[in-house]
Amino acid sequence: MKNSANYLVDVIVGADNSITVEIDNDLGVDIDDCADLSRHLESRLNRDTEDYELTVTSAGLTSPFKILRQYKKFEGKEIEVLSKKKGKSLRECSNRLMMTASRYRSLKD
């Protein structure tokens, strides 16, 4: 990913040797980006040594933000916020994501 505009969001390795790699890009990720990274990773892994299942995916529109760069990507744009608390139903609202110093917060328009 060194020579790519894509950046790593998350890597999840399951107990069953499933590997999920989630990427994003400030301009959006397309299927070719995922396929290229998948081929690159497959060339570095050895199936003769370890059996695994590899999935490379993009951070979806309905996925929660996981890293600071994702917040910066949507700064000043309308986002949907879902709030969930133990034992209570989900609360939903739409807000514009604003930046204040190094902390982010949502403010209504």
Query: Do 9 and 39 reside in the same domain of the chain?
Result: yes
Terminal CA-CA length for the chain = 37
Element (H, E) at 59: none
**Residue 19: C-alpha distances to residues 1, 5, 51, 57, 88 (Å):** 17, 22, 11, 11, 32
Query: Do 1 and 44 reside in the same domain of the chain?
Result: yes
Least confident among 14-18, 70-74, 97-101: 97-101
Whether 68 is covered by a domain: the verdict is no
Residue 40 has pLDDT above 90, yes or no: yes
What amino acid is encoded at 59 in this protein? A
Whether 20 is covered by a domain: the verdict is yes
Q: Mean pLDDT across the chain, nearest whole number?
A: 84
pLDDT (average), residues 30-59? 94
Whole-structure pTM value: 0.77
